[in-house]
A and B are shown apart, each in its own frame.
Chain A
Amino acid sequence: MSALHAVGDSAVLIDCDDLDAVLALHAALSGAPPDGIVDVVPAARTVLVSFDPAILPADRVAGWIRSTPPTPPGARADADELTLDVQYSGEDLAEVAALLSLSEREVVNAHTASVWRVAFVGFAPGFGYLVTDSPRLVVPRRSSPRTSVPAGSVALAGEHTGVYPRASPGGWQILGRTDARLWDQDATPPALLTPGRVVRFREVS
């Protein structure tokens, strides 16, 4: 672990070397946090810890972070693989294939053959940014975003794949659709894709 940065008086940001370090630290810190910890938010290269200084002063938060060993991947509760069934009939499948000089079949095969991991969640509740170790499907966002992307759309942008939890505007390249319920506000947790979760996509017709 490298530097801790104060983020105002109620949060601290931890720089990590890579995504593996982020997820290992996030898993460790979100396991059984002490009273006064509010949120532990993983991102691409950082973990943000917010706290209530009236309950837990900043120096004790820093001490807790420094003394908590990162959790190795195999030991995590989210180690179970999640499989999402996808119909690969998305509006941008042809465009993605053309951008990558692949056939549509090769795009689908690359998507289903990869083991993906939720790096972090952002943009919208339950919208996971999924990464894979050797990404073959790296494409830019659409030059003009769509005003409404349907819920369940499976899409690509940059090195990430993601699934729209609800209908929303969006600029990702749509490969297909899943019927899986990505966001259920009455479930615990409400998001199907949580940081660190391992995901595979399976083609269905």
Chain B
Amino acid sequence: MSALTVQVAGPLTTVQDLGRPGFAALGVSGSGALDRGALRLANRLVGNAEETAGLEITVGPFAGVGDRDVWIAVTGAWGRVSVGGRPIDPNHPAFVPAGAALEIGPAEHGLRYYLAVSGGWDVDPVLGSRSTDLLSGIGPAAVRDGDQIPIGESHPAAIPALDVAPWSPPEAGTVTVPLIVGPRADWFAASSLERLFTGTWALGSASNRVGARLEGTPLERSAAAHARGELPSEGMVAGALQVPPSGLPTVLLADHPTTGGYPVIAVMASGALDMFAQLRPGQSLRFRHARL
């Protein structure tokens, strides 16, 4: 079995595929890559099926050496990526000979790199997925320095040649995120619901794969909601803006708890989750009403 030996795992590197849907009623969240588009692209670039497991490298740095010739692609965040000391382009397949050092520097644009290898990262699946779920502890442990990550058999088809890379780095300025109001918007004062859309928010530093805290002016519950007391726990989805008593929303991400007791004022349009996953702590964002 060939493998990549990890020399530098960085602050958080996990194996992620498209997750583990279908087990939420048993307390298991969907998990999977936070920027799914980036994972799918990385896999396409090296000739894998889109749902193949990749490495989700949060911020970086990351470094490793493989014991077999492979093709790789790095997508998502942009930063300095090199093979054997020579820089390679983002969003582009690159050949990595056995023994050559693959080095990924700290992300300069965006937050999460995706590293796909021809053949995929061949860790054991759990409930149909190779994803690390940091909340429930299901799937492989987070990658550590010295780990050997097995590389699967690649199929014999040629890696497609690619001369044009029509991708740009993740947005650096203020981004606009489409939101769908509800299901519990009626728990909030009308002025707070309005402020959700007119205010500017910033991604908090207390953010991980479970959820991302937003900083801004706290949202207030309506007088009627105060009289109602607490909401009984209900099912949650990735992209939900849960509002705890502090009034500052938490955006639930892939490893979110399957149920929660704070009212959800609005939910991000599912197409915006990938972009959201690339926001950097402190980056500002605004919300607009999504067209359904």
Residues of A in contact with B (beta carbons under 8 Å apart): 5-11, 13, 26, 30, 38-48, 50, 53, 58, 120-127, 166, 185, 189-191, 194-195
Give min CB distance, B58 to chain A, whole Å. 23
Q: Does B232 contact A (CB under 8 A)?
A: yes
> Closest residue to B183 on the A side, CB-wise?
A5
- Residue from A26, A39, A185 whose CB has the most chain B CB atoms within 10 Å: A39
CA of A2 to CA of B32, assembled, Å: 33
B residues 256-274 in Cβ contact with A at 8 Å = 257-259, 264, 267-270
A41 contacts B24, C-beta separation under 8 Å: yes
Shortest beta-carbon contacts, A-B, top 6: A48-B235, A8-B267, A5-B183, A44-B232, A41-B235, A39-B24
- Residue from B27, B184, B268 whose CB has the most chain A CB atoms within 10 Å: B27
Question: Which of B126, B237, B259 is in CB contact (< 8 Å) with A120?
Answer: B259
> Closest residue to A185 on the B side, CB-wise?
B126
Please, which residues of chain A bring their CB within 8 A of the CB of B180? 6, 8-9
> Closest residue to B126 on the A side, CB-wise?
A185
- Tell me if B's interface is mostly helix, strand, loop or mixed: loop
A125 contacts B28, C-beta separation under 8 Å: yes
14 A-B residue pairs with Cβ-Cβ distance under 8 Å, sorted by A, are A5-B184, A6-B180, A8-B269, A38-B21, A38-B22, A42-B235, A43-B232, A43-B234, A46-B232, A48-B24, A50-B24, A120-B25, A124-B136, A190-B28
Q: Does B233 contact A (CB under 8 A)?
A: yes
> Closest residue to B258 on the A side, CB-wise?
A122
Please, which residues of chain B bring their CB within 8 A of the CB of A45? 232, 234
> Closest residue to A166 on the B side, CB-wise?
B137
Q: Does B290 contact A (CB under 8 A)?
A: yes
Give min CB distance, B205 to chain A, whole Å. 23
Question: Which of B137, B182, B233, B292 is in CB contact (< 8 Å) with A122?
Answer: B233
Given the contacts A8-B180, A190-B127, A121 and B137 also touching, CB distance less than 8 Å: no
